[in-house]
Amino acid sequence: MPRTTSLELTRNIGIMAHIDAGKTTTTERILFYTGRIHRMGEVHEGAATMDYMEQERERGITITSAATTAYWHRHNKEHRINIIDTPGHVDFTVEVERSLRVLDGAVAVFCAKGGVESQSETVWHQAERYGVPRIAYVNKMDIVGADFLNVIEMMRDRLGANPVAIQLPIGAEADFRGVIDLVRMQAEVYYDEEGTDIRIESIPENMLDDAQEYRSALIEAVSDESDELMELYLAGEEIPEELLVSCIRSATIKNRAVPVCCGSSYRNKGVQMLLDAIVDYLPSPLDIPPIEAIGKGGSKTVEVTADDSAPFAALCFKIVTDGFVGRLAFCRIYSGTLKVGTAVFNSSKGKRERVSKLLLMHANSRTEVDEAYAGDIVAMVGLKETITGETLCSEGRQLLMESMDFPDPVIRIAIESKTKAGQEKLEESLRKLGEEDPTFRTYSDKETGQTIIAGMGELHLDIIVDRLIREFKCECRVGKPSVAYRETIKAPARGEGVCERIAAGKNIYGRCVVEFAPGEPGSGIKLENRVSTAKLPAEFAKAALEGITDASRSGNLGGYECIDFSAALVDAEVNELESVELAYKIAGSMAFREAFARENSRLLEPFMKCDIVVPDENLGDIMSSITARHGQVLGSTPRNGGRTGIEAMCPLREMFGYVNDLRAKTRGRGSFSMQFDHYQEVPANLVDKILGIIY
């Protein structure tokens, strides 16, 4: 099947924001106005197209990113817009991370009242890390406390962005009735609630001065993109619309400016103009610099360009278990074409896989296609080995694209099957969920024999357990949540490991001396070999360092993983007849155990960055409650509507159930989100208590 939409008319975008800013409602309106759906579903009614999971419909939140494709006619051309609607809750931030990794542009949705909130900052910085061009959409201009210009100032102050208004709202709150287009200097006024009776009018006289002021600011912000624009502006001459649009587009793609639109998705106002902005200002795959990949053997850098005729290259960014077609691998194709039945090469694993089906997704519905092209986002069926972050390519041009880093889980619970017969089914279901979600881990506790599941927060694990019961039909019970502690070394120490034993009827020998030292918080594990190959063969040194790594997964203090330390192999001894790799692996482990003796180990706990928004009258009570939970208030910021935002750092062990406490103190008007920030040493008076709970 030939390509139906050219690359220059293709947009791969994500919708991202803080929870409850209106991402899914905005996506729903986009699908309606592009003709993709014929009835708008509402999130609060559990009828949104993109929130297809039962858990999403019940809770009224997005849990998993959903992909779809829509078409928008603009300038007498049909543009294809591939959309990924991402979650806003911090527990599911990995869904945003892996979506942004493969998208060309993004729409950041902000609430006109709340402005830049905690998760807004998180997703914004994720987009910055991947260099994704963005436009901003200030939603909910119809609600009490809506303030368009305040949101722009918050973007500048809190995000360090360069927001440039390309629209101005006509009215606000209950009086919001239209949008001024600063590029075309005209007003779009809405005369019904369905967004169908739209009239192009002159800018209201009482807003003409503001419109001219903000248009001048817009031109100044993008004037560096074109000498012609600069000359016309300085001469006070009329600037052609096409020239201004091209300059805004150039500044957006280069991440020099963020065009800001406004509207009310729920009231069906401003969405069509947002679609125009997506097409006009966000990049096509051709506008994005070539992706740099590592060639076969890691010896050279390969540029992957958006070209149908180039060798095939794609990145898998998501795995989903579908009850009808089985395992789906969501992939972004960066170059080349792919036909059904073709073999692809997984360069991350060095294995060949065969694609049995290609699917275009619309939330959870599927359309089979015979062929996919550069710039497409498709789901592949038949890939058995491929997981999130792995590269697929043609075997003739093997390359490896940069993968994704995912945060470690910070909360865990024990889980078990209610029946012995169901244990195998539970383990298989957990394995499938682990493939889908890189921030979800499952393992067996060596001390207790329990099956442990670990995730990013209480809601995250609650959804996992709910899916096990409903989707995978597992009868299971769970324990209370517990904190994923870590250990590290207190002071520099030297450890010696000597392995003298019999293995498989043969004497084996290995001796090594390792110097350990504490590292900076977040530095991880740094390993180094300072012994010459003349004294210790490289394979023996490698085995000793592997032994240290393996031993660090279970510390001497409480059996927790050890982090933030350096280990240098400084001395070793070889017996030509008895030395083998296994002996040095054991010796490295023994050296670790000696240096990380209980008296030289520290217990670390996860500290969470908390963003709490409360009514002003509850501010004192809430700050006191943070202190009572051994947290530290970092600052507070006035918000619209008589509310204050509190930024705090709190130990995770004190935050279980906090949302219920907050709701009780604020009569349901407070909101709360938290995300992992760093590990910090547990107070000495609590160490024995925590370890006593474990044993």
Cβ count within 10 A of residue 242: 9
Task: Note the Cα 328 to chain centre separation in Å.
Answer: 19
Cβ count within 10 A of residue 233: 17
Letter for the amino acid at 81? I
Handedness of CA 662, 665, 667, 671 (dihedral sign): negative
Predicted confidence at residue 659, as pLDDT, reads: 77
Residue 125 and residue 57 in contact, taking contact as beta carbons nearer than 8 Å = no
Return d(Cα 436, Cα 388) in angstroms, integer: 8
DSSP reduced 3-state for 297: helix
Do strands 105-111 and 343-346 pair parallel, antiparallel, or not at all (unpaired)?
Answer: unpaired
H/E element, 603: strand 601-615
pLDDT in tens, 535-554: 999 999 999 999 999 999 99
Write the secondary structure of 546-584 as one string of H (helix), E (strand) and C (coil).
HHHHHHCCCCCCCCCCECCEEEEEEEEECCCCCECHHHH
* Tokens standing for residue 681: 């040493």
Return d(Cα 439, Cα 94) in angstroms, integer: 7
H/E element, 294: strand 291-295
- Pick out the chain residues at pLDDT < 70: 1, 37-63, 88-91, 298-299, 363-364, 446-448, 640-641, 693-695
Among candidate residues 433, 513, 436, the one with its CA nearest the CA of residue 476: 433
Letter for the amino acid at 575? N
Return d(Cα 647, Cα 611) in angstroms, integer: 5
Cα dihedral 673→678→684→686 (10° resolution)? 30
Predicted confidence at residue 47, as pLDDT, reads: 44
Collect all residues with Cβ–Cβ distance below 8 Å to 327 and sequence separation of at least 6.
319, 320, 321, 381, 383, 384, 435
Among candidate residues 22, 206, 26, the one with its CA nearest the CA of residue 113: 22
Handedness of CA 178, 180, 184, 186 (dihedral sign): positive
Q: For the chain, what is the radius of gyration of the CA atoms?
A: 28
Residue 262 and residue 138 in contact, taking contact as beta carbons nearer than 8 Å = yes
Do strands 391-393 and 451-455 pair parallel, antiparallel, or not at all (unpaired)?
Answer: unpaired
Residue 293 and residue 397 in contact, taking contact as beta carbons nearer than 8 Å = no
Do strands 178-181 and 198-201 pair parallel, antiparallel, or not at all (unpaired)?
Answer: unpaired
Predicted confidence at residue 103, as pLDDT, reads: 93
